[in-house]
Amino acid sequence: LVRCVMGKIFDVAVDIRKDSPTFGKWTAYELSEDNKHMLWIPKGFAHAFLTLSDEAEIMYKVSGAEYSPEHDSGIIWNDPHLNINWHLEEYGIDKPSLSEKDSMLKTFDEVFS
């Protein structure tokens, strides 16, 4: 369960369950301190977000697991297979700021081929 308690984010969940009919499909929602919306991300989904405010604080409720560094991976944000509409132009963002780790992530096809 994800909630933005300060600021605003564009939150994305991607189905990465290989046997799922929605494998590779994504959904996205704007979460903010003002709208108080939360997003449930089930097991078998990848998660990413774009910060839309100068600062953002995100609260996670995770069930049945602790953080596992060996499972910390991801898919490059602008993956052509997923074709996630990040609404960059709408939000006035020319180029997202990425961590070094996130800028080196693989594509969806590289991860799941």
The pLDDT value recorded for residue 69 is: 81
Question: What is the spatial distance between Cα 25 and Cα 15, in angstroms, rounded to a whole number?
Answer: 6
Confidence bin at 20 (pLDDT 50/70/90): very high
- Domain range holding 55? 2-64+73-112
The pLDDT value recorded for residue 100 is: 95
CATH of the domain at 98: 2.60.120.10
Task: Map residue 60 onto helix, strand or coil.
Answer: strand
Beta strand 8-15 with 45-51 is antiparallel
Report the domain count for the chain: 1
The pLDDT value recorded for residue 12 is: 98
Q: At residue 64, does pLDDT exceed 80?
A: no
The pLDDT value recorded for residue 105 is: 97
The pLDDT value recorded for residue 71 is: 76
Residue with tokens 């990040």: 86
Q: Average pLDDT of the chain?
A: 95
**pTM score, whole prediction:** 0.91
